[in-house]
Amino acid sequence: MRLHFINGEFTRGKSSESIEVFNPATEEIIDSVPRGTAADAEHAIHVANEAFKSWRRVSANLRATMLHDAAAKMRSHKEEIIKLLTLEQGKPVPENEEEFEWLCTTFDYYAELGRHERGRVLPSGEYTQLNLVIKEPYGVAACIIPWNYPLLLMAWKVAPALAAGNTVIIKPSELTPLSTLYIVENCWDHFPAGVINVVNGFGKEVAEPMVMHKDVPIIAFTGSLATGQRIASIAAPMMKKLHLELGGKDAFVIADDADPETAASALAYAGLTNCGQVCTSTERVYLPKRRAKEFTEALVEHIKTLRIGNGIEEGTDIGPMIGDSYRGKIEKQVEDAVKSGAKLLIGGKRPAQLKKGFFYEPTVLSNVNHKMTVMREETFGPVLPLMEYDSFEEAVAYTNDCDYGLGACLLTSDPLKAKIFFEEVKAGTVWINDPLTDNYAGPFGGMKLSGGARELGQEGLDQFRETKHVHWEFASGKKSWWYPY
């Protein structure tokens, strides 16, 4: 059993119950973790709050060194981390190699950014005055991590939080806690006790007590809209800083000048990476009516070449979904779409050759519309629904006809179409000809119901710093505008 990590020590905590962690490709138990309680969360909050008193005063240079050392140690454990991540999360090794690189480089990036500046000096109103804008850490940051990218999305929160001078409590997903705990034990042992803590467990039993606690001023969460709304509602009376990334329903527009083979590869990558379990997965595809047949046929033929199987096995393109209930949601969306008139072109079922594991075949639907659930609600699975449009302006309107606004993709060689798209589409990230590629220096986050948080870049650091204005008058004595008038 892997334990909680609180105040620099591994501990069983207050509960005798445990949570089993399964391999989604084999349904076998890998390990277990303690089922955390509110008392465990309270303990972690207390030690993190105490550690903050000294951690906030550690020099930016020393914090940077510690973050770089963490990245170096993680790289020295690369094979073990990738293997464990693949076993507990399921996606193929090549995709986890990419996640691992993001994990390490994010720590290196914020190591340097965290010592670059702390605010700015303003022009003062008088010669004898100094005006400063100072950015300060909040204190204890609760980092609530999802299961689909358990290390990458942890790093996007923890690295800037530490660089800014906060202490952290990580609540990993109960489905994928093992790789995080491995890293804490083997790669982060040089941080002072209490600066980094991990409490395992379910959201209502561990995360919710942290959200409600007066000594946790900032909550960083990636996950479902419903959970984000719950966090916002219970945190609102305390006016906490909320850092919420709440998923999406991303559109991919194929312009009429695109190449069908290129479009097929781009769509498959954007919609099927991590078995479609990406917050920025393409979940709506818009094709120009006059060339829809070409693009559709190319996509179906390309998907036929993809290999589905255990992510740990060489040659696997698409791994399993994380669990049976998640697969069931996809099956219902596809079933409802077909009943409403959609045409199933490929997939739409569990692969017969794989008797164990939560697998679902890559699926393409045509003849869909915006009344269907598969085009309205987040899917989070390997489904690409295709809808036709008459004009590019109509495609842009379809893209914006959604409650979410995380990302949007366009494939075109027409610069005017590209400009119209990124100017008119309401989404936090717009990808043109290179879907789902992030940049360490470029802020990632959404609009509308996708939430307003930003990760990566300067914006990602500033999410974990609050701003203070200092007005300093050097000259002593009374001012002419003080009482009496």
Q: Using DSSP, state whether 248 is helix, strand or coil.
A: coil
| Cβ–Cβ under 8 Å, residues 323 and 173 | no
Sign of the alpha-carbon dihedral angle for 281, 287, 292, 294: negative
The alpha-helical segments, DSSP class H, found in 236-368 are 260-272, 292-304, 324-339
Tens-place pLDDT, residues 167-194:
999 999 999 999 999 999 999 999 999 9
φ, ψ for residue 51 (rounded to 5)?
-65, -30
Among the listed residues 245, 361, 378, 455, the single catalytic one is: 245
Q: Using DSSP, state whether 280 is helix, strand or coil.
A: coil
Dihedral class, residue 456 (left if φ above 0, else alpha if ψ from -120 to 50, else beta): left
The alpha-helical segments, DSSP class H, found in 199-252 are 208-212, 225-235
Among the listed residues 143, 187, 275, 279, the single catalytic one is: 279
What local confidence, expressed as pLDDT, does residue 281 receive? 98
What local confidence, expressed as pLDDT, does residue 188 receive? 98
Give the tokens for residue 186: 């083997």
| Cβ–Cβ under 8 Å, residues 15 and 41 | no
Identify the H or E element spanning 129. strand 129-137
Listed residue (194, 196, 192, 201) closest to 184, CA to CA: 196
What local confidence, expressed as pLDDT, does residue 250 receive? 98
What pLDDT tens digit does each residue of the chain (485 aa) get? Answer: 999 999 999 999 989 999 999 999 999 999 999 999 999 999 999 999 999 999 999 999 999 999 999 999 999 999 999 999 999 999 999 999 999 999 999 999 999 999 999 999 999 999 999 999 999 999 999 999 999 999 999 999 999 999 999 999 999 999 999 999 999 999 999 999 999 999 999 999 999 999 999 999 999 999 999 999 999 999 999 999 999 999 999 999 999 999 999 999 999 999 999 999 999 999 999 999 999 999 999 999 999 999 999 999 999 999 999 999 999 999 999 999 999 999 999 999 999 999 999 999 999 999 999 999 999 999 999 999 999 999 999 999 999 999 999 999 999 999 999 999 999 999 999 999 999 999 999 999 999 999 999 999 999 999 999 999 999 999 999 999 999 99
Looking at the chain, the number of H-run helices and the number of E-run strands are: 14, 21
Give, in order, the Cα–Cα distances in Å from 240 to each of 156, 220, 369. 20, 11, 40
Q: Using DSSP, state whether 174 is helix, strand or coil.
A: coil
Q: Longest Cα pair distance anywhere in the chain, in angstroms?
A: 89
φ, ψ for residue 388 (rounded to 5)?
-95, 150
The tally of CA atoms less than 13 A away on the side-chain side of residue 348 is 18
Q: How far apart are CA 23 and CA 86, in angstroms?
A: 9
Q: Using DSSP, state whether 219 is helix, strand or coil.
A: strand
Question: pTM here?
Answer: 0.97
Catalytic annotation on 79? Answer: no
Q: Specify the pairing of strand 18-22 against strand 29-34.
A: antiparallel
Which amino acid is present at 415?
A: P
Q: Using DSSP, state whether 31 is helix, strand or coil.
A: strand
Give the tokens for residue 133: 């804008």
What local confidence, expressed as pLDDT, does residue 397 receive? 98
Tens-place pLDDT, residues 79-90:
999 999 999 999
Q: How far apart are CA 436 and CA 168, in angstroms?
A: 28
Q: How far apart are CA 312 and CA 346, in angstroms?
A: 25
Dihedral class, residue 371 (left if φ above 0, else alpha if ψ from -120 to 50, else beta): alpha
Identify the H or E element spanning 398. helix 392-400
Catalytic annotation on 99? Answer: no
Q: How far apart are CA 300 and CA 220, in angstroms?
A: 39
Identify the H or E element spanning 68. helix 60-76
Give, in order, the Cα–Cα distances in Å from 297 to each of 87, 195, 264, 304, 413. 34, 54, 9, 11, 21
The tally of CA atoms less than 13 A away on the side-chain side of residue 81 is 28
What local confidence, expressed as pLDDT, does residue 320 receive? 98
Listed residue (424, 420, 432, 427) closest to 443, CA to CA: 427
Strand partners, 470: 132
Other CB atoms closer than 10 Å to residue 376's CB: what's the count? 18
**Domains in the chain: ranges and CATH:** 4-246+451-470 (3.40.605.10), 250-432 (3.40.309.10)
| Cβ–Cβ under 8 Å, residues 47 and 194 | yes
